[in-house]
Amino acid sequence: MLRIHHKFVLFVLFMLVALSLSACQPVTREPQVQSAPASAPEVFVEGAPVRLAVGLAIGPDDNLYVSTQWIRHVLVLDPESGEIIKRYGPEEGIDIPADLAFGPDGSLYAGLYPGFDGDAILRLAPDGTVTGMPLPPIIWPVMTTEDGRLFAGLLIENDMIVELDPDLQTPPR
């Protein structure tokens, strides 16, 4: 009597399935997506004043606030014309801003990049007063809630999210 080992039978079955599948041709179809013709995007603002834009926020005045590393400022742009209306920079105490967020009271919060005067979060109050709080690097993102809570991500070494006092007077939690 012929005795066949079960591993051999499994091997033969596997080979038969593999051979039959290798003879199959894949079914391909052209995608049914109609694409629009490629066109260049409309340029909102051109030139060096807005190079390296890293943070965007719409202010309570409906203007576009842009943080730019290149010139180390927060620029206020007219959203219709793209014209630079105002600049906040080192002279006002804002240097190398990163992410931006507005609080419900109209305060602008900016995380600062490390180095220079960085490693902090700043608050530009509606009256123009700038206050800050040192934080570990790198502060990104910054966000506020409708009820005024302020949060920031601390990347790299800390890898955490903290809640901050919106007035930047008490330590983060």
Position 152 pLDDT exceeds 70: yes
Q: Which pLDDT does position 113 carry in this prediction?
A: 80
> Which of 27-31, 95-99, 155-159, 162-166 has the largest mean confidence?
162-166
More confident residue, 162 or 140: 162
pLDDT value at 48 more than 60: no
More reliable by pLDDT, 150 or 35:
150
Choose the CATH number for 49-164 among 2.130.10.10, 3.40.50.280, 2.40.50.140, 1.10.645.10.
Answer: 2.130.10.10
- Distance, in Å, from the CA atom of 118 to the CA atom of 137, rounded to the nearest integer, reads 8
CB proximity list for 147: less than 8 A, separation 6 or greater: 104
Q: Where are the domains of the chain?
A: 49-164
Q: What mean pLDDT comes out for the span 14-36? A: 62
pLDDT attached to residue 8: 61
